[in-house]
Amino acid sequence: MRAILAALLFAALPTLAARDFVDDAGRKVALPDKVTRVYAAGPPASVLVFALAPDTLVGWTRAFRPDETAWVPEKYAKLPELGRLTGRGNTANVEVILQAKPDLIVDMGSTNATFASLADRVQQQTGIPYILLDGRLETTPQQIEKLATALGTEARGKELADYARALFTRLKSKIDAVPADKRPEVYYARGPQGLTTGLKGSINVEMIEFLGAKNVAAGTTGGLTNVGLEQVVLWDPAVMVTNDPNFYRDVWTLPVWSSVTAVRKKRVYLSPHLPFGWFDYPPGANRLVGLLWLSEILYPEQFKHDLRKEVATFYKLFYHQEPTAKQLDTLLGEAGVSPR
């Protein structure tokens, strides 16, 4: 095994480092002068590398499912599944990375000591530079620009970052004027039972907080957690958002949910998910288009977006392909998606 790893390591050694780069964990990383092959350690990094420099992406953390493939150019949809190094359900290992022969490893999300240590260890084991970038929603424009610098795609980075900044300004300018007592209380119902949610500070519910609404589970700081239905009834949210079509289908027929205000008032919404989730999965730049969708759900008096036009613009810019009219019908016509 050691001989195999040594052979893979020798074959995968990057070209001589020519640039120093300080990542968001404060780690100084020597990058090759030209980056041509990138391994994304988790789904958020996959989405942004794909948006900025799709021809450098050596594979996805998870292969595209049949209903996802038509949303990006075919050659990218066919990239192999390499697994993920970070987050829940990590499936990749050093051998997988070496066999893919990247000259850069990128991860996005938390930059705490645990992830910095993992980056250091993998970089030492593989000899491949590994950068860690802050994945918070509010820093999306800076993430885009920083990754673009690492990839050598600064002009493309400016284009995408400008889009993100303009979107933030457009939404915030109206939301800032909404009084505190007019901001809805929201519950994120994750998973088939709807009983997994994000606590205060969880990257999975950032969109609620970014848009100035109240996450009912924000009384405790943390990440994802499981809660009891009794707790959701006590919270009694005015709006619920789910990422699970099965939960969205069942919530209307299960008597235990009928006492929740959001259910009684038909204010439960299903997040679109093709080819990437609009609300959570993954918690990456794909959420930018979701901000448009969720802002109209939360503040119907302030926002009435032309979603077909907005989605077409975002998908063309970030996913390199404008959806067809039929695809838009499918995406926006799914039960639970429409904000109106």
**103-157 pLDDT, tens digit each:** 999 999 999 999 999 999 999 999 999 999 999 999 999 999 999 999 999 999 9
| Planar angle of CA 190, 193, 47, nearest 5 degrees | 30
pLDDT digits (tens, 9 = 90+) for 299-333: 999 999 999 999 999 999 999 999 999 999 999 99
| Structure confidence at residue 95 as a pLDDT band (50, 70, 90) | confident
3-state secondary structure of 215: strand
Q: How far apart are CA 68 and CA 138, in angstroms?
A: 27
Same fold, 18-163 and 179-334: yes
pLDDT at 87: 64
Over 80: is that where the pLDDT of 16 sits? no
Give domain limits for the chain: 18-163, 179-334
| Structure confidence at residue 90 as a pLDDT band (50, 70, 90) | low
Residue 181 tokens, joined: 């007592």
Over 50: is that where the pLDDT of 10 sits? no
Kindly report whether the peptide bond that precedes residue 54 is cis, defined as omega within 30 degrees of 0.
Answer: no
pLDDT digits (tens, 9 = 90+) for 26-40: 999 999 999 999 999
CB atoms near residue 101 (< 10 Å):
15
| Structure confidence at residue 15 as a pLDDT band (50, 70, 90) | very low
CATH number among 3.40.50.1970, 3.40.50.1980, 3.50.30.50, 3.40.50.300, domain 179-334: 3.40.50.1980
pLDDT at 86: 77
Over 60: is that where the pLDDT of 5 sits? no
Residue environment code for 303-318, b if the CB has 16+ CB neighbours within 10 A, otherwise e: beeebeeebbebbeeb
pLDDT at 76: 98
Contacts of 329 (CB under 8 A, 6+ apart): none
CATH homologous superfamily of 18-163 equals Nitrogenase molybdenum iron protein domain (3.40.50.1980)
Q: In what order do the strands lie in the sheet with 185-189?
A: 214-215, 185-189, 239-242, 268-270
Over 90: is that where the pLDDT of 69 sits? yes
Residue 249 tokens, joined: 């289908």
Mean pLDDT across 152-173:
98
Share of the chain above pLDDT 90, in %: 89
Helices marked H in 80-205: 94-100, 113-126, 140-151, 154-175
Q: How far apart are CA 34 and CA 147, in angstroms?
A: 13
Over 60: is that where the pLDDT of 260 sits? yes
Helices (H) and strands (E) in the chain, counts: 14, 11
Handedness of CA 239, 241, 245, 251 (dihedral sign): negative
Give the mean pLDDT of the chain.
93
